[in-house]
Structure 1
Amino acid sequence: MLWDALTLQLGYNATLVTLGATMLGVGAGATGTYLYLGKRALVSDAISHATLPGVVLGFMVMVALGGEGRFLPGLMLGAALSAGLGLLAVTGLTTRTRLHEDAAIGAVLSVFFGFGVVLLTVVQVMDAGRQAGLETFLLGATAGMLRDEALTIAAGGAVVLALVRLLHRPMILVAFDPEYAVGQGMRLARVDLAMMGLALAITVTGLKVVGLVLIVALLIIPPVAARFWSERAGHVVMIAGAIGGVAGYLGAAVSATAPDLPTGPLIVLAAFALFVLSLLMAPGRGVLAAALRHLRFQRRVHLRQGLLALAAGQPVYEPLTLRLMRRAGL
C-alpha cells in the first residue's frame, strides 16, 4: 500500500493531497531560506502560533453567520489576520521598546497561543464545535481532505513560490547585508515586510497539512539541510525547495496509508531524515567529507615528515608514517 501511495496510485483525491503537500513543501523550503540566512527563523515560530486564535475565531464567526464553519478559505483568512496582528505586535515591541526580537517573539507566541487554546476549549463545548475538527490544525491531517482544499493548498504554495522568484534579489541582499541593500536604494521596511508576508502566507497555507505547531520546521529544516550542499544563495534556495517538496511528498504519502497518524509530524520526520542525509553525505560540508579531507591531510603530513626524516638521515618511529612510506615504495 505504501508503494501505491508513493507512486500516486491510491486514488484521485489522495494524489491531489500528496501533490498539494509537495507544492507546499517547495514553497516553504524556498521561503524559509531567506529567514534562515537573515537569522530570522524564530519569527516564523511566532507567526505560526499566532494563527490559532484566528482559526478558532474564523470558525465561530462563520457558524454565527449560518455558514459552514470548516470552510478552509474562511479559516485561512482568520489565521492570516491573527498572524498579521501577531507579526505587528512583534515588530512594535521590537522597534518601540528596548525588548530584543527574541524576547518579543516569546511574549507574542505564548500569549496568542494561550488565547487560541482557550478559544479552542470554548468551541469544543459548542454544539457545532464538537464536530469541527479544529484540533487537526495543531499537528496537521490530510485524512478526509476535500479536493477543493487540496487545490487551495497547492495554489497557495505555487503563488508563494512565484513571489519568491520575483523578490529573490532584494530579499537575499537584505538577508546578507542590509546596509549594502540600503546603499542600492532598497527600502528595508518594504523588503522585510515582503519577507514576513511570504512567511505568513506559507504558514497559513500549510496549517491544514503540517499544523501550526510544526510548520516552522518545514520552513527551517530544508534550508538548513540545503546549506550543506552549496555555498551559493541561489542554489541553496532551489535545493531547499527540493528538500521541502520531497519531505512533503513522503510525509503525505505515508499519511495516506496510515490515516490515524498526523501528517505534520510525518512530514517533519521526512525533512529531518533528509537533513541527516545532508549532514553526513554532502560533498562539501558533510561530516563524512570532512572526515575524508582530514584523513587525506593527515596522510600527507605524515608522508612529508617521513621524507624530511629520510633526507636528514633520521630514524622514523611513527607507525602510520612507516606504513605510508612502505606503501609509497620508500
Structure 2
Amino acid sequence: MDVFDYIKLLSSDYTLRTITLGTAVLGAVTGMLGSFAVLRKQSLLGDAISHAALPGIALAFLLTGSKDTNVLLIGALISGLIGTFWIRGIITKTHLKSDTALGLILSLFFGFGMLLLTFIQKQPNANQAGLDKYLFGQAATLVESDVWLMTIVTALCLGVLLLFWKEFKILLFDKEYAQTLGFNTKFIDILITSFIVLAIVMGLQTVGVVLMSAMLLAPAAAARQWTNSLGLMVFLSAIIGAFAGVFGTAISSTQNNLSTGPVIVLVASVFVLFSFIFSPSRGILFRQLRLLRNRNDLELQKTLAFMHNIVQDHEDISHPHVVKILNNFQGYSRKGLQKLVDKNYVTVQGDMWSLTPEGFTAANNLYNQNLKDD
C-alpha cells in the first residue's frame, strides 16, 4: 500500500482515522511536556507515573465493577497524582535523591497494581477481561470522544504553557532565581507535573503502562539534539511526537496483528537515533567530522611550526629545503604539505620546499600565541 492508498483509506475508514488523529495528538502533547521532564533531568518521571497509574485502574474497576474507559482513567489519574506527590514528599522529607524516589514509587505502585490485576483475574467474573490492555496499550479501542478529550487537554496544556511560559522557563534553569523574583515555584512545579501526569494517563489506553515513558521522552530527546532554544525544542518535540504517532499507526495498519503502541515507540526511537547521528550541533557524525578536522588543523599547525623552526636560522626565509627533512617530524604527511601549499604558506618545487612570507607570518603568529597561552 503506497502513500496515496493510505491517504484514501484514511479518509474513508473511521477507525483508522480516529486512531491516527488520537496518536498524533497524544504524540504532540507528550512531546511538549516531555521537554520539561528531560531538561529537569527527570527522565524516569514518566516511567514512574505510568506505572503508578496501574493500581488506580485496578482499584477503579474493583470499586465500580465497570470497564468504562473514563472511569478507569480517572482512577489512573488519581493514582498517578498520589504517586507523584509521594515522590515529591520522599525527595523533600528525606536525604534520598530524585532517581531513588522515582525508582521506589515505580516498583511499589507497579507491584501493587500487578497484585490487584492478578486478584481480579482470579475472580469468577468474565467482566474483568481486557484490563491487561492497559499494560501494553490497545490503540484500536480509541473512539472519537477519546480524541476530542485528548485535543481539549492538549489545547489546555498549550494555553497553560503560553500563560506561564516565563515562569516555567526560569524555574527550569534557575529555581533559586525564580524564588528571589517572588514566583510561587511550588505551585508552578506542581502545575507542570500535574499536566505531565494527565498526558501520561491519556496515553495508557493507546501505548500502555510499560511503553508510555518512551512517548514522553523520545520526542524530547530527539528535539534536544537540534536546538538550544527551549521554545524551539518544545515545538520540535510536539512535531516529532505527532509524526511518530502518525507513522506508527500507518505502519501497524499495513500488517495484521501488529500492535500500534510498540510500533509508535519504535518509530519515535528511529527519530532519536537519527537525531543522535545526524544532528549538526550534537550528532555523532558531525562531532566526529569536527574532531577529525580539528585534528588535521592541529597537525598542519605543528608542521608549519616545525618548518618555522627550520627556516628561522636562515637569513633568507625562502631558502629551499629538501622534503626528506620533514620525514623526521611525526605529524608530517604529503596531504598536509599539499594543504599548506594550497594556503600559499609553502611552495614546493620537485623535492624542495620553501616557506612563503605568508607562511612565515602565520607560523610566527602561532608561535607568539602559544607563548601567550603558556
TM-score (norm 1): 0.89
Q: What is the rounded CA distance, in whole Å, between the counterparts of 2:256 and 2:166 in structure 1?
A: 41
Q: What is the rounded CA distance, in whole Å, between the counterparts of 1:322 and 1:202 in structure 2?
A: 59
1:294-325 deviation line (CA, Å, top 9, x unaligned): 23323333333444444444633322423434
* Residue aligning to 1:115: 112
* Equivalences, count: 325
* Residue aligning to 2:47: 45
1:29-83 deviation line (CA, Å, top 9, x unaligned): 11011111111222222211110011122223332xxxxx232211111100111
* Residue aligning to 1:254: 251
Secondary structure of the equivalent of 2:44? Answer: helix
Q: What is the rounded CA distance, in whole Å, between the counterparts of 2:244 and 2:38 in structure 1?
A: 18
* Residue aligning to 2:164: 167
Counterpart AA for 2:293: R
Secondary structure of the equivalent of 1:261? Answer: coil
1:182-201 deviation line (CA, Å, top 9, x unaligned): 12211111111012101101
In the TM superposition, residue 129 of structure 1 has moved relative to its aligned partner by 4.6
Q: What is the rounded CA distance, in whole Å, between the counterparts of 1:192 and 1:178 in structure 2?
A: 10
Counterpart AA for 1:98: H
Matched, 1:316 2:331: no
The structure with the larger Rg is 2
* Residue aligning to 1:66: none
Q: What is the rounded CA distance, in whole Å, between the counterparts of 2:253 and 2:119 in structure 1?
A: 31
In the TM superposition, residue 4 of structure 1 has moved relative to its aligned partner by 6.1
* Residue aligning to 1:183: 180
Change (3 A) 1:177 1:57: same
Q: Single out whichever of 4-13 and 129-138 deviates more from structure 2.
A: 4-13
Matched, 1:283 2:298: no
Q: Which residue among 80, 85, 88 is the counterpart of 1:83?
A: 80
1:152-163 residue pairs with structure 2 within 5 A?
152-163=149-160
* Residue aligning to 2:96: 99
The structure 1 segments of at least 4 consecutive aligned residues displaced by more than 6 Å after TM superposition are none
* Residue aligning to 1:74: 71
CA RMSD of aligned residues (A): 2.3
Q: Please say if residues 35 and 217 of structure 2, whose CA atoms lie closer than 8 Å, have aligned partners that are also in contact.
A: yes
Matched, 1:200 2:197: yes
Q: What is the rounded CA distance, in whole Å, between the counterparts of 1:8 and 1:316 in structure 2?
A: 69
TM-score (norm 2): 0.80
Q: Give 5+ residue unaligned stretches, structure 1.
A: 64-68
Q: What is the rounded CA distance, in whole Å, between the counterparts of 2:268 and 2:298 in structure 1?
A: 39
Q: Single out whichever of 4-13 and 76-85 deviates more from structure 2.
A: 4-13
Q: Indicate the percent of aligned positions where both proteins have the same amino acid.
A: 33
Q: What is the rounded CA distance, in whole Å, between the counterparts of 2:98 and 2:292 in structure 1?
A: 43
Q: Please say if residues 157 and 195 of structure 2, whose CA atoms lie closer than 8 Å, have aligned partners that are also in contact.
A: yes
Q: Single out whichever of 187-196 and 145-154 deviates more from structure 2.
A: 145-154
